[in-house]
Amino acid sequence: MLATMLLSRWSIVAFNVVILMPLTLALYEVVSLLWGAGFGHHESIQEAGHIIEGMGVILIGWGVVLEERAGVSHLLGGLPTEEPDYEAALDALCHHVGLALLVLGLMAEIFVQCVEVPDHIIHTDGIERVVLTGSAGFLALGLATLVRHVIGLALFRGPGRIPTAAAASGGISVRS
């Protein structure tokens, strides 16, 4: 029952939307800090890095949950097994999106760490804003991935559930 509440198709859509909201606001804030109102302040670079890092952690964590939906559902008591093909197709969809979010979140964090590592190890002096903009680009790709996943889940029917023309017209078919 807990697995159904937390890992059903519509629960995942809800979690995605909950993550999309702060991610959108964070990207707006990062752009403002790096290229807008905070452009002249060195502290804005650090704050942008912290925001990106935090959102990267969220993408990584949610990506792992999605990637391992089948395993997590098993730990939580399992999902209903009346339609194993449907659940397997949903697991595959979530696996691919989860892996993408995991990689995008990690790449965002790697770029932030390149800025935070001392300049005598990785020299980013003077290009911090560009590097962090690249990092924010990975978050933007994560946002696009989440939006695409929400749409994909909303339209998801699973294998063998594609409505035929006869079913769409109420089961009446006209032959000439």
Residues with Cβ within 8 Å of 99's Cβ and at least 6 positions away in sequence, in order, are 63, 67
For 132, other C-beta atoms within 10 Å of its C-beta total 26
pLDDT surpassing 60 at residue 58: yes
pLDDT over 70 at 101, yes or no: yes
Q: Which residues contact 60 (CB under 8 A, 6 or more apart)?
A: 101, 102, 105, 106, 109
pLDDT score recorded for residue 88: 87
163 Ramachandran zone, left/alpha/beta (phi>0; psi -120 to 50): beta
Among 30-34, 114-118, 155-159, 160-164, top mean pLDDT goes to 30-34
Q: Read off the pLDDT band of 73 (50, 70, 90).
A: confident
pLDDT for the residue numbered 138: 98
Geometric angle at alpha carbon 103, from 99 and 108, rounded to 5°: 150
> Is pLDDT of 172 > 70?
no
Q: Give yes or no for a contact between 137 and 107, defined as CB atoms under 8 angstroms apart.
A: no
pLDDT at 100: 97
pLDDT of 174 higher than 70: no
Q: How high is the pLDDT of residue 161? A: 54
Distance CA 126, CA 42 (A): 11
